[in-house]
């Protein structure tokens, strides 16, 4: 749906977005992640046709945003960060105006009604935009984005300013919308991405850090070292020694088990509770097998799944040069 090619935007000497190439597959909900100031909003403004790119381009369903901006914009429902409004207009009136502007010629009333219901703003239809709360304004912004039923929705931090209940409701709405629309949404709330997105594009300092299906991105980084919590039993333990320093004792037992590092351990009522790190390439199954081979009994295994938060943290706290991954940068 979106094919960005070497998308670059400079503000004077500052490069806000640097050579972004990525794909947003049709019919998917794609999360666009990055720390504040990474260039998310600038990228979305370029895709939606507000800012022209300094170089590079993007195609929206085959329409080049530089060469055929009107055709591209017709396919996009864009919701900017902190939705700006004409304070003197009523909600309904505003949405009628937007629908007309976007070329909804027939059944405009129904389109507006449907958008208001979807975004939960029907109860404020006759209120002036200027007196709405931030959460309501955001939702009017969503209604605006969907009013012409465009195939692609570009949402810039859509849940900003919503209360927790509204956020949950919003995610439901997103999932519903995701059945008919391709959605590209930026956020810095990671749980949001994990809750609704199938794909993710992560940028850092204007460059792609990683991109692809959420599982792949997680797994890609998962291939590296992983932490596992274990509850073990040890045959004929020398209680005094284990009580004294369980970590050292376990390290001694596990020294033959390849690829396992003991991070910390404690001994209590005959059970060893341990956090261990399996080296790169060692699966949880391998780890258990090696523990058993080393003479330990395994009671409980809880792999600490690397959350997106870890991935995000790893990717966005290193220097961009190190985070660059030209080969894996394109989502499939």
Partner 1 sequence: MRSAWAIYKRELVSTFYSPLAYVVMVSFLLFNGVVFYFFMDLVASNPTISGTRGPLQLFFGSTILSVLTLMIFCPATTMRSFAEEWRSRTAETLFTAPVSNLSVVLAKFGGAMTLYASLWLPTLLYALVVRRYGSVDWGALACAYTGVMLVGGAFVGVGLLASAVATSQVTAFVGSFGVIGGAMFALGLGRYIFTEESQLRFFSYVNLWEHMERFAVGMLDTRQVVYYGSVAVLSLSLTVRALAARREA
* Interaction site with partner 1 (CB under 8 A): 45, 48-52, 70-71, 73-74, 76, 78, 80, 82-89, 93, 97-98, 100-103, 105, 144
- Residues 133-161: b if buried by 16+ CB within 10 A, e if exposed: eebbbbbbbbbbbbbbebbbbbbbbbbbb
| Shortest CB 41 distance to partner 1, Å | 10
Residue pair 49/219 in contact by the 8 Å Cβ criterion: no
**Torsion angle, alpha carbons of 34, 38, 42, 45, to 10:** 0
CA distance 134 to 163: 10
Place of tokens 């369903």: 61
**In terms of Cα–Cα distance, which of 230, 214, 231 is closest to 307?**
214
Question: In this structure, what DSSP letter does residue 66 have?
Answer: T
Smaller CB separation from partner 1, 50 or 281: 50
Smaller CB separation from partner 1, 85 or 279: 85
Q: Counting beta carbons within 10 angstroms of the beta carbon of residue 54, is it exposed (0 to 12), middle (13 to 18) or buried (19 or more)? A: middle
CA distance 97 to 147: 10
Smaller CB separation from partner 1, 4 or 200: 4
Q: Counting beta carbons within 10 angstroms of the beta carbon of residue 118, is it exposed (0 to 12), middle (13 to 18) or buried (19 or more)? A: middle
| Shortest CB 142 distance to partner 1, Å | 12
Smaller CB separation from partner 1, 48 or 159: 48
| Shortest CB 134 distance to partner 1, Å | 14
Smaller CB separation from partner 1, 100 or 314: 100
| Shortest CB 183 distance to partner 1, Å | 16
Smaller CB separation from partner 1, 70 or 319: 70
């Amino acid at each position: 749906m979106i094919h960005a090619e070497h998308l670059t935007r400079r503000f004077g000497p500052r490069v806000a977005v640097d050579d972004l190439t990525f794909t947003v597959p049709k019919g998917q909900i794609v999360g666009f992640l990055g720390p504040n100031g990474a260039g998310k909003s600038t990228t979305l403004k370029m895709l939606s046709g507000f800012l022209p790119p300094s170089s590079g381009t993007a195609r929206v369903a085959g329409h080049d945003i530089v060469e055929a901006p009107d055709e591209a914009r017709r396919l996009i429902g864009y919701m900017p960060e902190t939705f700006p409004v004409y304070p003197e207009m009523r909600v309904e009136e505003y949405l009628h105006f937007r629908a007309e502007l976007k070329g909804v010629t027939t059944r405009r009333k129904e389109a507006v009604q449907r958008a208001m219901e979807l975004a939960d703003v029907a109860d404020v239809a006759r209120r002036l935009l200027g007196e709405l709360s931030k959460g309501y304004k955001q939702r009017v912004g969503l209604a605006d984005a969907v009013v012409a039923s465009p195939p692609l929705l570009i949402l810039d931090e859509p849940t900003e300013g919503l209360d927790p209940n509204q956020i949950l409701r919003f995610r439901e709405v997103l999932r519903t919308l995701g059945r008919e629309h391709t959605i590209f949404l930026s956020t810095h709330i990671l749980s949001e991405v994990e809750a609704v997105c199938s794909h993710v594009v992560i940028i850092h300092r204007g460059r792609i850090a990683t991109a692809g299906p959420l599982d792949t991105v997680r797994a890609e980084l998962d291939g590296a070292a992983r932490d596992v919590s274990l509850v073990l039993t040890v045959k004929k333990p020398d209680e005094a020694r284990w009580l004294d320093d369980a970590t050292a004792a376990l390290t001694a037992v596990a020294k033959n088990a390849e690829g396992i590092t003991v991070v910390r351990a404690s001994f209590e009522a005959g059970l060893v509770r341990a956090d261990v790190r399996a080296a790169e390439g060692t699966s949880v199954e391998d780890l258990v097998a090696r523990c058993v081979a080393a003479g330990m009994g395994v009671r409980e295994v809880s792999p600490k799944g690397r959350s997106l938060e870890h991935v995000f943290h790893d990717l966005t706290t290193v220097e961009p040069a190190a985070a660059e991954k030209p080969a894996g940068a394109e989502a499939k």
